[in-house]
């Protein structure tokens, strides 16, 4: 057997040993995928409880507004979905129509999930 063949076998054995040791220290736990918040944008076409075609006005990462008439018949806690297919993008957290008579506003606050 030649010296070259012996060196190649020794190098191969070291490579296998290194790979085995790396696998031994690698974590073997399964990690559940994180459910990301849907990507939405300013003016997103939304769908509320009455299915009216309305748009979203985003004011911060966790707050948006729309017209209260878009949610006619809706209530605080109702889901708001994207017409673009992004699924549930938020929930109604306040309605201007819930204000006292004479002070009502045509606005609805939507809480967005944190990104």
Return the residue matching tokens 């017409």.
83
The secondary structure of residue 113, as a DSSP letter, is: P
Range with top average pLDDT, 28-32, 63-67, 86-90: 63-67
| C-alpha to C-alpha distance for 75 and 92, rounded to whole angstroms | 7
Q: Provide the percentage of residues in the chain whose pLDDT is more than 90.
A: 43
Per-residue model confidence (pLDDT) at position 96: 93
What mean pLDDT is reported for the chain? 77
Residues 84, 45 contacting (CB under 8 angstroms): yes
Query: For 31-85, how does the pLDDT look when each residue is reduced to its tens digit (9 = 90+)?
Result: 444 455 667 889 899 988 888 889 999 999 999 999 999 998 889 999 999 888 7
- The predicted pLDDT at position 29 comes to 45
Closest Cα to residue 54, out of 81, 25, 27?
81
According to DSSP, the β-strands at 88-95 and 108-111 are antiparallel
Higher-scoring residue by pLDDT: 22, 44? 44
């Amino acid at each position: 057997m030649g010296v070259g063949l012996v060196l190649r076998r020794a190098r191969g054995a070291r490579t296998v040993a290194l790979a085995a040791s790396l696998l031994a220290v690698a974590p073997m736990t399964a990690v559940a995928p994180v459910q990301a918040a849907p990507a939405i944008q300013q003016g997103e076409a939304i769908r509320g409880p009455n299915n009216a075609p309305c748009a979203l006005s985003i004011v911060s990462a966790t707050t948006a507004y729309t017209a209260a008439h878009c949610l006619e018949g809706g209530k605080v806690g109702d889901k708001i979905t994207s017409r673009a297919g992004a699924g549930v993008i938020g929930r109604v957290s306040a309605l201007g129509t819930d204000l006292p008579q004479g002070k009502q506003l045509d606005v609805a606050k939507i809480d967005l999930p944190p990104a």
